[in-house]
Structure 1
């Protein structure tokens, strides 16, 4: 029996946690910390939190698909590192909105990789989302920010990660995916962070811990929401991340979204909601997706 109020609450908490993680990453980036090191801190403290949970819950790890996990981690690490780089150099709300292209990118990748056949609604949502992204990136208007292109790269990597996650969830439990992902991810992230490592101050250590814990909290709440209700109901609440990012930007950095930013963000979110709705609908043999 779906528990929609609980799902909505969990998804809003997940959105708030992701907005907070973006804020903290921006504070670290603007303090001079390299995105590799910010990403390393995110994975390190996320792994510590999950390790404590694993010691308490003692989950059974059943033959993980390590090559697929490694691919998922590489894509996820690349995506989050690009996001952390972008949000330190442009409004958080704009960078966050661009990364919301990842469901569209996942849909496109699913055609050759998973054999899916998107129909008119999904193609329409994809086109709309790309138009929204163009409004944010603003080509030809003299306002293109290189950071916006990095945010677009983050969306590409995250879209690929969605495909890897889809394949993993067919045979592995969610907690196993999380713990294996963060073990491999921590190894990769800290290895790259070592190339640019500058010893953090106490404040920076605390901020890195806040980033990792916020992301883990968001992942846990997200999974709870998806288990409590259908995706078409729960997913739109996650896009409140954009609202939290905009509020943090306004409160701490005095950034006010302009008309193009608001329009582009609205179009991308609307397209993502349409995709979530279409993905959740059961397909009859006579109806193409």
Structure 2
């Protein structure tokens, strides 16, 4: 039987859930960099399969420590649905990310929070407040400033076109994932979510094991292990935050992922930072601040 999200009975205010989601986005962005590096070396399939297998092993002791929470059948269906969506989303995203720079991939993926904003209204019954729409529009405006600076001067190769289309398709799955993330966080605790997401995604990828795996080198294994640890930490942060604030409050924070992607892309892959990036970042931060002000938070 699922233990439920069991949020702390104290009123956290909007600050702690927002900070938890900021930390989750930052650690997920670092994971993106690790898995992109590994995917270039051993392929997307092997990198993602091993990341989730390592993640299952990393979260297993935590799952034991919190009393081995087992989901009820309805909650297990939510876990399985999100795992299936996450599998498709991750495969498409990293297929694209090995073909285009990290910052560009993240910029393209930012269509998903806008889609998710309206999915949340349909699926979760949330009322879309004008402030949330304004915050999302500011986030998109910031991404457009950055994207125009990056895309305006060059031409795309065939591989870059493939990568762009894959990331766009991934963004649709990500929008569904964002909404399910909120629903899942209300039904189960962070450790249960992390354990079953890693496990179920691993099982989905293992279906293709007879055909797709590549034996990784030691450096790639280290990158994948680091990616698994970062992904697990991100799941815990995001599950805690999404259990305590509405989806539309937290969605603008997704845009901060671009800031981390730009920084990590520069450090790990030599992507340059420029004036449009700084201007867009300021706009994104303003959007996040507007979305988080006077937020309705659940205790």
> Which interval holds the TM-score relative to the shorter structure?
0.7 to 0.9
Pair 1:198-2:214 in alignment: yes
Secondary structure, counterpart of 1:192 in structure 2: coil
- Rounded Cα–Cα distance in structure 1 between residues aligned with 2:122 and 2:256: 31
Aligned residues: 281
- Rounded Cα–Cα distance in structure 2 between residues aligned with 1:228 and 1:9: 12
- Rounded Cα–Cα distance in structure 1 between residues aligned with 2:91 and 2:205: 9
Closer/same/farther in 2, CA of residues 62 and 244 from structure 1, 3 Å limit = closer
- Rounded Cα–Cα distance in structure 1 between residues aligned with 2:145 and 2:263: 21
Q: 2:296: which partner in 1?
A: 281
Q: 2:7: which partner in 1?
A: none
Report if the CA contact (8 A) 1:2-1:230 is conserved. no
Report if the CA contact (8 A) 2:182-2:247 is conserved. no
- Measured after TM superposition, the shift of residue 186 of structure 1 is 0.9
Q: How does 1:244-283 map to 2 (within 5 A)?
A: 244-263=260-279, 267=283, 270-277=286-293, 280-281=295-296
2:72 counterpart (60, 63, 80): 63
Q: Please tell me the root mean square deviation across aligned C-alpha atoms, in Å.
A: 3.8
Report if the CA contact (8 A) 1:250-1:256 is conserved. yes
Closer/same/farther in 2, CA of residues 223 and 263 from structure 1, 3 Å limit = same
Closer/same/farther in 2, CA of residues 253 and 5 from structure 1, 3 Å limit = same
Report if the CA contact (8 A) 1:134-1:264 is conserved. yes
- Rounded Cα–Cα distance in structure 1 between residues aligned with 2:250 and 2:281: 19
Q: 2:59: which partner in 1?
A: 50
Q: 1:211: which partner in 2?
A: 227
- Measured after TM superposition, the shift of residue 18 of structure 1 is 2.3
Closer/same/farther in 2, CA of residues 234 and 102 from structure 1, 3 Å limit = closer
Map Cα deviations across residues 48-69 of structure 1 (whole Å, 9 max, x no partner).
1111222333333141423322
2:88 counterpart (72, 78, 89): 78
Closer/same/farther in 2, CA of residues 232 and 104 from structure 1, 3 Å limit = closer
Q: 2:195: which partner in 1?
A: 179
- Measured after TM superposition, the shift of residue 6 of structure 1 is 7.3
Q: TM-score, normalised by structure 2?
A: 0.74
Report if the CA contact (8 A) 2:90-2:170 is conserved. yes
Report if the CA contact (8 A) 1:25-1:88 is conserved. no
- Rounded Cα–Cα distance in structure 1 between residues aligned with 2:238 and 2:83: 18
Report if the CA contact (8 A) 2:55-2:232 is conserved. yes
Q: 1:286: which partner in 2?
A: none
Secondary structure, counterpart of 1:60 in structure 2: coil
Closer/same/farther in 2, CA of residues 135 and 156 from structure 1, 3 Å limit = farther
- Rounded Cα–Cα distance in structure 2 between residues aligned with 1:131 and 1:245: 17
Q: 1:285: which partner in 2?
A: none
Q: 2:115: which partner in 1?
A: 105
- Measured after TM superposition, the shift of residue 187 of structure 1 is 0.4
Closer/same/farther in 2, CA of residues 16 and 131 from structure 1, 3 Å limit = closer
Deviates further, 94-103 or 140-149:
140-149
Closer/same/farther in 2, CA of residues 167 and 8 from structure 1, 3 Å limit = closer
Q: 1:38: which partner in 2?
A: 47
Closer/same/farther in 2, CA of residues 155 and 252 from structure 1, 3 Å limit = same
- Rounded Cα–Cα distance in structure 2 between residues aligned with 1:74 and 1:68: 10
- Rounded Cα–Cα distance in structure 2 between residues aligned with 1:170 and 1:9: 18
Q: TM-score, normalised by structure 1?
A: 0.77
List runs of 5+ in structure 1 lacking aligned partners.
283-289
